[in-house]
Amino acid sequence: METALHEREWLLRRQTHEMERMTNEMPIEVPAKEKKSATKKSTAGAKAPAKRPANAAKTKSSETPLTKPANGRSRVVVEGIKPQIDGGRFAAKRVVGDSVRVEADVFGDGHDMVRAHLLYRRADETEWRTEEMTALGNDHWTASFVVDQMGFHEYTVVGEVDHFQTWRSELKKREDAGQDLDLPLKTGALLIEAAAKRATKEEAAQLKAFAEKVRGGSTAAAFDGTLLAIVNRNPETEMQTRYERTLRVWVDRERARFSSWYELFPRSWGKPGQHGTLRDVAAQLDYVEEMGFDVLYLPPIHPIGRSFRKGKNNTTEAKPGDVGSPWAIGAKEGGHLAILAELGTFADLEYLIEQLRERKMELAMDIAFQCAPDHPWVTEHPEWFKKRADGSIQYAENPPKKYQDIYPLDFESSDWQGLWDALKEVFMFWAEKNVRIFRVDNPHTKAFPFWEWVIAEVQAVYPDTIFLAEAFTRPRVMERLAKLGYTQSYTYFTWRNTKAELTEYMTQLTKTEVSEYMRPNFWPNTPDILPFGLQTSGPNAFKSRLVLAATLSSNYGMYGPAFELGENIRFKEGSEEYLNSEKYEIKRWNREAPNSLRPLITLLNEARRANRALQRNENLVFHPTDNPQVMAYSKSTADGSDVVLTVVSLDPVNTQAGYVTLDLASLGLKDGATFGVFDLLANRGYRWQGSRNYVELRPYEVPAHVFEIRK
């Protein structure tokens, strides 16, 4: 009776469906004024298209019919993969040896269980490696893979309905309910035999043996862990859902993440009354090495233009003997592929690089894509420069400032391809001479597509090349340059002074998506920037800014000897420029001055090298204090073996004190624990207990503690 009722309902639904179909295929009457055009458009012998009833609703599907998917049996959704930069448009960044944690949302329809797999490989590999993903709850999954060499690595996620685990789960429920298991066990045997067809010969034999036991009624065999492991190694791939695109991660060498930079002008390192040379710098490397720096950064070393050369303090008329700005590149002797004769020769550069290598240091070269009026490109390729209304070449301006000694390049040039090739040759030329770190001047004033292309071109040949973007510009522009391939970036640290400003900025750099692609490099000063905070607060301000730069960021640098000697004389009121700037003249520094910060710099760099916790950024944790002038934060290694707590006074004048409330769990400590803190700057230890502890910081000593946590 029940069966007959179901059949009648089915027939009734079928008849209704047929009537609807016939109605939809009935021709619609065409108005007289449209009949002629409609006839013209029809093709002889062609079947007339199905017509909608006049009162039928207009739907999206009726206008753009959907096609069937390639595999309609794939019932799982894969979405929300992280890391993923702009939908996979750009690569995330890592360093050799890093573990890349991938997360994704993977789920299916109904109540069947699902599985998720992380697929990963180097870009030059053809076969994918697979890692089973772990469910975190709420359909969220994770797995990790280790990047083992420089260059691009690829990853994606696949998911499938897990018929075997679904069957085992339901079998357990049936068993607990005391139901008959004969048919369910036979169903399971079929699933096991299907897996055997996908397995190796050895595992297929094991699976067939399990299938016989399960078909024979053995629930113990059904729940055997070995059986589950073998089935999981042989998934039903033909019904998997794969994420819509392959994602990438670019892998750099270690120095991309951890480096200490020291900038100097070689011309100021010669004997009294003489222009310094590259050999002079090589002879005095001990000064830089002993402070613990591993990157020596030199401003441009190319010939300096003579036309419109700037005089001291950026005056528009140079006097006899004025050396000009190194950033006014190019003279009759050559341009970006030449060395200023007063600095030496290519052999001298090679010698300097060798001396640095022996000290496990590297040379960073400044690349400034701009030209002095005397640069050979000005006459050889005038089309690479913008013209003014009178036909003359447009010099650089940042109104009201004028830079008559510099011609900017025109990235809208009709010969942009020739320009790109010439600029690429600059990088390749110096890379071939064993320069693998480039600090790029003002990259935000050059075309974005160029940077994406040229960085990829250089790193395709020299994957160990590091690019530092000197782009003190708008946030989105800085971030775009990092996405396009820049290894490190200058930042706003130079102007972040209060506890709230520093906390907010560091949280953005280390805890948001920005951390996936932008590596900060903190500079408390540069030849262009003497921050207001360093101008009036005396040497103690230099101390606190030094500690902040060196411990907040794993990459940091300074312009010396101006920094360690506390150079703070501004050009004029309201200016962030130096008086008697080294950019325009040779300076003589008393590097042995008793007030030099060399001892403190040395201690900080020793702490950075000895403590792996300080060599990363994403591990930063802030700890509350009850004094807005006292800032506390920690960094820890993943295994908790190295933990460093830094406490800094932001007041360069007055003694500041207060209580720090520690997040003990982030330090690997239990509530109420007693532990040691050893100050690496004062070489002194203390015993602390619990989360709340007292600190006192005197600016005329060292306005900071850098504590090793000793458990």
What is the reported pLDDT for 236?
86
Could you tell me where in the chain the CATH 2.60.40.1180 domains are found?
Answer: 621-710
As a whole number of angstroms, the distance between CA 84 and CA 61 comes to 32
Question: Is residue 18's pLDDT more than 50?
Answer: no
In 406-474, which ranges are continuous DSSP H helix?
416-431, 448-461
76-251 is classed CATH 3.40.50.10090: no
> Which tens digits make up the pLDDT trace of 527-554?
999 999 999 988 899 999 999 999 999 9
User: What single-letter amino acid sits at 221?
Assistant: A
Is the distance from CB of 273 to CB of 593 less than 8 angstroms? no
Residue with structure tokens 């802030």? Answer: 622
Buried b (16+ CB within 10 A) or exposed e, 581-604: bbbbbbbebeeeeeebbbebbebb
CA 171 distance to own-chain centroid = 47
Task: Give every CB contact of residue 678 below 8 A, 6+ residues apart in sequence.
Answer: 684, 685, 686, 707, 708, 710
Q: Residue 655 has which token pair?
A: 């003694």
What is the reported pLDDT for 48?
47
If you average pLDDT over residues 630-655, what whole number do you get? 97
The CB density around residue 133, as the number of other CB atoms within 10 Å, is 22
Instruction: Kindly report the pTM of this predicted structure.
Output: 0.89
| Of the options 1.20.1560.10, 2.60.40.1180, 3.20.20.80, 3.40.50.620, the CATH number for the domain spanning 255-369+415-615 | 3.20.20.80
What is the reported pLDDT for 349?
98
- The share of the chain scoring above pLDDT 70, in percent, equals 91
What is the reported pLDDT for 41?
39
As a whole number of angstroms, the distance between CA 696 and CA 85 comes to 43
Question: Is residue 17's pLDDT more than 50?
Answer: no
As a whole number of angstroms, the distance between CA 680 and CA 684 comes to 7
- Indicate the Cα dihedral angle 97, 103, 108, 113, nearest 10°: 60
As a whole number of angstroms, the distance between CA 538 and CA 533 comes to 9
As a whole number of angstroms, the distance between CA 520 and CA 566 comes to 24
Listed residue (588, 570, 564) closest to 529, CA to CA:
570
What backbone torsions phi and psi does residue 113 show, to the nearest 5 degrees?
-75, 155
Is the distance from CB of 661 to CB of 692 less than 8 angstroms? yes
Listed residue (540, 610, 607, 592) closest to 568, CA to CA:
540
Plot region of 627 (φ>0 → left; ψ -120 to 50 → alpha; else → beta): beta
What is the reported pLDDT for 537?
87
Listed residue (695, 575, 703, 588) closest to 648, CA to CA:
703
Q: 470, 567, 651, 708: which is the annotated catalytic residue?
A: 470
Q: Is 441 a catalytic residue?
A: yes
Q: 263, 280, 441, 564: which is the annotated catalytic residue?
A: 441
If you average pLDDT over residues 283-302, what whole number do you get? 98
> Which tens digits make up the pLDDT trace of 667-682?
999 999 999 999 999 9
What is the reported pLDDT for 62?
52
If you average pLDDT over residues 635-662, what whole number do you get? 97
Could you tell me where in the chain the CATH 3.20.20.80 domains are found?
Answer: 255-369+415-615
Buried b (16+ CB within 10 A) or exposed e, 63-93: eeeeeeeeeeebbbbbeebebbbeebebbbb
If you average pLDDT over residues 606-622, what whole number do you get? 98
Question: Is residue 711's pLDDT more than 60?
Answer: yes
If you average pLDDT over residues 573-585, what whole number do you get? 96
User: What single-letter amino acid sits at 222?
Assistant: A
If you average pLDDT over residues 387-410, what whole number do you get? 89
Q: Is 470 a catalytic residue?
A: yes
If you average pLDDT over residues 402-408, what whole number do you get? 91
> Which tens digits make up the pLDDT trace of 154-200?
999 999 999 999 999 999 999 999 999 999 999 999 999 999 999 99
Task: Give every CB contact of residue 312 below 8 A, 6+ residues apart in sequence.
Answer: 319, 322, 580, 584, 585
> Which tens digits make up the pLDDT trace of 437-478?
999 999 999 999 999 999 999 999 999 999 999 999 999 999
Is the distance from CB of 503 to CB of 525 less than 8 angstroms? no
> Which tens digits make up the pLDDT trace of 189-246?
999 999 999 999 999 999 999 999 999 999 999 999 999 999 999 988 888 999 999 9
Q: Residue 252 has which token pair?
A: 């750099």
Buried b (16+ CB within 10 A) or exposed e, 412-446: ebeebeebbebbbebbeebbeeebbbbbbbbbbbb
User: What single-letter amino acid sits at 164?
Assistant: F
DSSP string, 190-257: HHHHHHHHHS-HHHHHHHHHHHHHHHTT-HHHHT-HHHHHHHHTS--GGG-EE-SS-EEEEEE-GGGT
> Which tens digits make up the pLDDT trace of 25-82?
434 343 444 444 434 433 444 444 445 455 544 544 456 678 888 888 889 999 999 9
Cis, peptide link before residue 561, omega less than 30° from 0:
yes
Cis, peptide link before residue 400, omega less than 30° from 0:
yes
Give the DSSP H/E element, type plus range, for residue 166. helix 163-176
Question: Is residue 255's pLDDT more than 60?
Answer: yes
Question: Is residue 425's pLDDT more than 60?
Answer: yes
What SS3 class is residue 511?
helix
What SS3 class is residue 632?
strand
Could you tell me where in the chain the CATH 2.60.40.10 domains are found?
Answer: 76-251
What is the reported pLDDT for 32?
43
Distance set, CA 148 to CA 176, 249, 506, 612 (Å) = 48, 12, 28, 19
CATH H-level superfamily of 621-710: Golgi alpha-mannosidase II (2.60.40.1180)
Write down the mean pLDDT value for the chain.
Answer: 92
